[in-house]
Amino acid sequence: MSGRTVLNIIKGIYMKFNEHFNDIAQSYLFSNIAQKVAAYSAAHPDKTILRLGIGDVTLPLAPAVIEALHSAVDEMSKKETFRGYGPEQGYGFLKEAVKNYYASFGVTVGEDEIFISDGAKSDLGNILDLFDRDNLVLVPDPVYPVYVDTNVMAGRKIAYMNANASNGFLPMPDYSVDADIIYLCSPNNPTGAAYTVEQLQQWVNYANAKNAVILYDAAYECFISEDGPARSIFQTEGANTCAIEFCSLSKPASFTGTRCGYTVVPFDLKRQGMSANKMWLRRQTTKFNGVSYIVQRGAAAVFSPEGQKQIRANIAVYRDNAKIIADCMDELGIWYTGGKNSPYIWLKCPLGMSSWEFFDYLLENAQVVGTPGAGFGANGEGYFRLTAFGSREVTEQAVARIKRLLKK
């Protein structure tokens, strides 16, 4: 009898899949929505569906970005300027541009604390390589599903903090809870609510007191007005010893299909004599080959004076769309958060409907698609998310249909 056969008898099987995949929803929220919309479209081919659901952008890349991309492609076509493997943590020209961008709103970060990636979603999942499986994870409810699913896949225990109308969907620290890893997103997806610097300071104080780490998703910081809430968790005192910040060019610069983001891992974030910055560098150099040179040149153009001017014009369009939706909610007397400093409007479902009931009601009677709040957690039940990422024309048409339907 071979050693392999003996091993097979002992174990009963040669290998095992990760059984924690059985603990996550078998279908992603937006896949469910897509299936419902596809079924409705097939049954009603004469109806025009207006989509205010999934948070994808509709405006194209800025001219400054396009010019930089073309220039980089030309470089790659010539032996003298061709680039092969680049630094896994990103080229210096882009990291310097990100550093200067932070400085524009009063935040100091070091170039070697900045890591360029293909987007915040990837890094939010991959960062978990740094943490032991036995850490307790604290997430808000409702929550962006990726925070939960990536930890469930790894077998971590998750505790939930209540985000609800009474606290403006901005939960604050509870010192009776001993969390190890804390997820915060501001402006929040899905609720659009945003923390002030003073509120974030309370979270930083809590994390440092508990020896915890905050994973701070700032993917929507560009929507915050100059006199608005916090742009970065590093605007607080002590965040460099307890926080990692994730940012993306997807929404501000229309990079959802181009893919580029950046994560800030401070040198001062250390536990048990181990440096998070050095660990993340080691992880990236082992598992990641970096973002393409061409994309990074385009990303650097985002932070140029002309690039900033152009993407701010795009953001203004989305802000106007958010105001159109928010004004509609005001006119209809529907409670909501978000809109002012966020591309999301999080509304209370009218007529006492559940989230999915309202989804079906809007689709069938107004041909407007949004996102059921229940898909983001138990506290999302009875709420609904609309996004401002459509075109001005689609947003106005969708709002007109919603008004006609709900004013009956």
Q: pLDDT tens across 326-350, in order?
A: 999 999 999 999 999 999 999 999 9
User: How confident is residue 26, by pLDDT bands cut at 50, 70 and 90?
Assistant: low
Sign of CA dihedral 340, 342, 345, 347: negative
Structural tokens at position 308: 């900033």
Mean pLDDT of the region 98-105: 97
pLDDT digits (tens, 9 = 90+) for 354-403: 999 999 999 999 999 999 999 999 999 999 999 999 999 999 999 999 99
Vertex 29: Cα angle to 295 and 368 (nearest 5) = 90
pLDDT digits (tens, 9 = 90+) for 228-240: 899 999 999 999 9
Lowest mean pLDDT among 54-58, 114-118, 178-182: 54-58
**In the CATH scheme, what architecture does the domain 27-56+307-406 have?**
Alpha-Beta Complex (3.90)
Q: What is the largest CA-CA distance in the chain?
A: 79
Domain ranges of the chain: 27-56+307-406, 63-303
Q: Give one DSSP letter per residue of 256-290, joined into a string.
A: TTT--EEEE--TT-EETTEEHHHHHHHHHHHH---
- Same CATH topology for 27-56+307-406 and 63-303: the answer is no
Looking at residue 122, its pLDDT comes to 95
Looking at residue 226, its pLDDT comes to 77
Residue 365 CB partners (closer than 8 Å, separation 6+): 405
Looking at residue 12, its pLDDT comes to 59
Specify which residues 32 forms β-bridges with. none
Residue 247 CB partners (closer than 8 Å, separation 6+): 120, 218, 219, 221, 261, 262, 263, 264
Q: Which fold has domain 63-303?
A: Aspartate Aminotransferase; domain 2 (3.40.640)
User: How confident is residue 27, by pLDDT bands cut at 50, 70 and 90?
Assistant: low
Looking at every residue in the chain, the average pLDDT score rounds to 95
Mean pLDDT of the region 281-309: 98
Q: What is the dihedral of CA 273, 276, 281, 284, to 10 degrees?
A: 120
Which H or E element spans position 44?
A: none
Mean pLDDT of the region 130-137: 98
Do 259 and 296 contact (CB within 8 A), yes or no? no
CA atoms within 13 A on the CB side of 66: 7
What's the length of the chain? 408
